Amino acid sequence: MTRFTRREFLVTSGTGLGLLAAGCAPTIKGDFSPKTGRRVVVIGGGWGGATAAKYVRLADPSIEVILLEPNRRFVSCPFSNLVLSGVRTIDSLTFGYRGLRNHGVRVLHEAATAIEPDARRVRVGEGYLQYDRLIVSPGVEFQTEQVDGLGQAGDEVLHAWKAGPQTVMLADRLRAMPDGGVFVLTVPPVAYRCPPGPYERVCQVAWYLKNNKPKSKLIVLDANQNIVSKTALFRAAWQAYPNLEYRASNKVVKVDPGARQVTTEFGDAVKYDVVNLIPPQRAGTIAVQADLVSADKRWCEVNHVTYESVKHQNVHVIGDSTIGLPVPKSGNIANAMGKISALAVVHLLNGKEPLALAPGNTCYSWVNDREAIAVVNAYRIDGGKVVQIEQKLTPGQSAQWGRHAVGWATSIWNDVLG
Amino acid sequence: MRTTLAVFVVLAVAPGAAAGPLDAPGAAKAVVCSACHGEGGQSPSNVMPILAGMPSWYLKKAVDDYAAGRRLSPEMEPYAKQVLQLGVDEIAAYFAGQTRRPPDVRSDPAAVERGRAAAGQCVGCHTASGKGDPAKGIPDITGQPPGYLQNQMLLFKTDRRSPGDESLKALKAFFKTLPDEQIADLAGFYSSLR
């Protein structure tokens, strides 16, 4: 295994990419990298896609793997709420793709613009890539049209729900907020990426305010009827934050950055000094454009063993954009789906029966600067479907689970990218 | 068979490759484990144990103990049940066949030396090499991340690992006599052994 290092993105890379190394649109025309053997193309270099690309190469190095990911750096969503409280830096969560290149994955920093399932090709700019099997891991896209005023608000209203520049901007706004200010955080209706994520964020913002701006207040407007995940554990953790006001069944439908207020579906207006509006979500845009989504036009149904789309053959969909499995939309699940789908693809390309493997999920949430809670889910395949074996929660919050969280992150970042 | 061998050779020499092909018995069933325990069971963190090279009898015992709630872990209990349903024999055989590398987390040399001086208390059961005695059910405690070893000893000391297990009574009584600092030193020493 290659030990991968944080921030290796600073090292210029591109060795072995050939034509792909150019990475600029004008060079990409027609079949810009003709297929010479069996090829898997992966769309999206997040938790699912990066893992899938690596594990196809591990399972069968004779298969060419091309990963399409526009971003040159991977920023981990897990742990990014700690950037808001100042416990972590964004740099400590930022990694490059050199580890995947060391496995022989051809990483192309371009966006896939369309999928042509019948022709088995992916459009990239004015060119295209042929594939034998395609793995699509597009993550989520925001349904900004669901909140009046959000589409026009730009960076005035931050989601910070894809770790990166918005995470840092939100942390800066929290720091700049005067003591006595009001921070409003809105939670979208399920299904959305990372069910406990908003509530962990609540903990981190509340912890920061308690220690740095004790006259300030955090108002949480949750579209759901109750805390969606780890409910009792978060309720217990919130006892430490008297500056927190939680309002369930308060779906935000409007934001007005000029007036600095949000409005709920019942017409209640809530003023803010800083807002963090996490919008409703659907599968990444390319999945919608490629008709991989179900009738609701939101999420993608897949075969539970191979992750092949129920809509298009030879196209596999993994990660947050999937629906119908009894699993959360988490980085750990996307990582597991990446490995299982990679093995299924390799088996199918080699004329073998795919193995009936189920994912697992380990999910830590930080409730202050050093203590965490966790939920763990184990699964099996029964009758071709993923079913849950068991769910366990930590008995409470502790620094021990915090240490385990750090161990988990160290290990899984390596599993995804190392 | 020829294909399998060819794949193995390529993987063995390719930079960054795993220790074996993923379609070897147990390898595919173990992929979910790598999220926490590392590729091929080579855990890179200070918390999760290295499964690479772990004798299969001990890994199977650990999985059984976690699944039955004898070793208390909200993280491992569900996964242990998943492993039992997938087939623990194949998974344990896969990890036992992986070559263990030294832990990525290195111990403080001074702690290692202090631990070496204190380790005379352990050799009666775990032997001078620290490799244990499988015939008596005594495990190999060498080459694991120091944080993992330290945590297990603290769990024994506070009776939170296998509570009520009569066979561990003497061990737990012994740990109760050890200051936490010495437990950290012993962890550093046994982590450094190969």
Contact A368, A203 (CB under 8 A): yes
Q: What pLDDT shows up at residue B25?
A: 76
Contact B7 A60 (CB under 8 A): yes
What percentage of chain A reaches a pLDDT higher than 70? 94
Proportion of chain A in helix, strand, coil states, percent, rounded to 5: 30, 25, 40
- pLDDT in the model for residue A14: 35
Residues across chain A: 418
Its CATH class, for the domain covering B109-192, is mainly alpha
Asked if A140 and A132 touch (Cβ cutoff 8 Å), the reply is no
Cα A255 to Cα A252: distance, rounded to the nearest angstrom: 8
Q: Is the pLDDT score of A16 beyond 90?
A: no
Class of domain B21-96: mainly alpha
Average pLDDT, chain A: 94
Q: Which helix (H) or strand (E) holds B13?
A: helix B2-13
Set out the domains of chain A in order of their start, with CATH numbers.
8-141+283-357 (3.50.50.60), 144-279 (3.50.50.60)
Are A237 and A246 a contacting pair, CB within 8 Å? no
Alpha carbon separation from B100 to A14, A342, B49, B95, B103 (Å, rounded):
32, 25, 11, 9, 9
Residues of chain B positioned with their CB less than 8 A from the CB of A99: 16
Enumerate the β-bridge partners of residue A269: A263
DSSP state of B122: T
Among chain B, residues having any CB pair with chain A shorter than 8 Å are: 7, 10-11, 14-18, 21-23, 28-29, 31-32, 34-40, 42-48, 74-75, 77-79, 81-82, 85-86, 104, 147, 151
Q: Do A358 and B36 touch (CB under 8 A)?
A: no
Per-residue pLDDT, averaged over A65-77, amounts to 98
A176 touches chain B (CB under 8 A): no
Which is nearest to A71 in space by CA: A171, A142, A139? A139
Q: What is the ipTM of this complex?
A: 0.92
- Per-residue pLDDT at A348: 96
pLDDT in tens, A296-305: 899 999 999 9
- Which chain B positions have a beta carbon within 8 Å of A362's beta carbon? 35-36, 75
Confidence of residue A21 (pLDDT cuts 50, 70, 90): very low
Is residue B173 packed enough to be buried (19+ CB in 10 Å), middle (13-18) or exposed (0-12)? exposed
Q: Average the pLDDT over A389-409 and give the result.
A: 98
How much is the pLDDT for A15? 35
A352 neighbourhood in chain B, CB within 8 Å:
23
Interval A319-347 mean pLDDT: 98
Cβ–Cβ under 8 Å, residues A65 and A56: yes
Using CB atoms and an 8 Å cut-off, which of residues 83-142 of chain A contact chain B?
Answer: 99, 102-104
Nearest CA in chain A to B145: A407
The residue-averaged pLDDT of B152-161 equals 95
Could you give the residue range(s) of every CATH 1.10.760.10 domain in chain B? 21-96, 109-192
User: How far, in Å, CA of A59 to CA of A347, rounded?
Assistant: 9
Which residues in A181-306 belong to E strands, given as ranges?
Answer: 182-187, 217-222, 244-247, 252-256, 261-264, 269-271, 274-277, 281-283, 300-301
Q: What is the pLDDT of residues A118-161, one digit of tens each?
A: 999 999 999 999 999 999 999 999 999 999 999 999 999 999 99
- With beta carbons less than 8 A apart as the criterion, state whether A36 and A131 touch: no
Average confidence (pLDDT) over B78-89: 97
CB A345 within 8 A of CB A316: yes
DSSP state string for A357-376: ---EEEEEEESSSS-EEEEE
Using the predicted structure, report yes or no on whether residue A9 has a pLDDT greater than 70: no
Predicted pLDDT at B21 = 61
For residues A404, A335, A43, A133, the Cα torsion angle rounded to the nearest 10 degrees is 160
Chain B contact for A371, CB < 8 A? no
**Arithmetic mean of pLDDT, A307-318:** 98
Indicate yes or no: CB of A376 within 8 angstroms of CB of B78: yes
A42 sits in which H/E element: strand A39-43
CA distance B50 to chain A (A): 11
What average pLDDT does the structure give for chain B? 89
**Contact across the interface for B39 and A358, Cβ inside 8 Å:** no
Give the distance from CA A331 to its chain's centroid. 6
Nearest to B35 among A104, A335, A392 (CB): A335
Give the pLDDT confidence of B86-145 residue by residue, as tens digits: 999 999 999 999 999 999 999 999 999 999 999 999 999 999 999 999 999 999 999 999
Contacts of A374 in chain B (CB under 8 A): 74-75
Under a CB-based contact definition with an 8 Å cutoff, are residues A116 and A128 in contact? yes
Confidence of residue A4 (pLDDT cuts 50, 70, 90): low
Average pLDDT over residues A212-220: 98
Give how far A349 is from chain B: nearest CA, Å: 13
Asked if the model's pLDDT at residue B73 lies above 50, the reply is yes
- d(CA B86, CA B28) in angstroms, rounded, equals 10
Average pLDDT over residues A244-273: 98
Measured in angstroms, the CA of B136 and the nearest CA of chain A are apart by 31
Are B32 and A360 inside 8 Å of each other by CB?
Answer: yes
Tokens for A265, please give them.
Answer: 């579906």
Looking at residues A34-44, what average pLDDT do you find? Answer: 97
- B11, pLDDT greater than 70: no
Euclidean distance between the first and final Cα of chain A, in Å? 7
Residue B1 clears pLDDT 70, i.e. is over it: no
* Cα distance between the two ends of chain B: 34
- On chain A, the residues whose CB falls within 8 A of the CB of B14 are 61, 103-104
CB-CB contact of A6 with A90 (8 Å): no
CA–CA–CA angle A336, A341, A342 (5° rounding)? 100
**Distance in Å, alpha carbon of A394 to nearest chain B alpha carbon:** 6
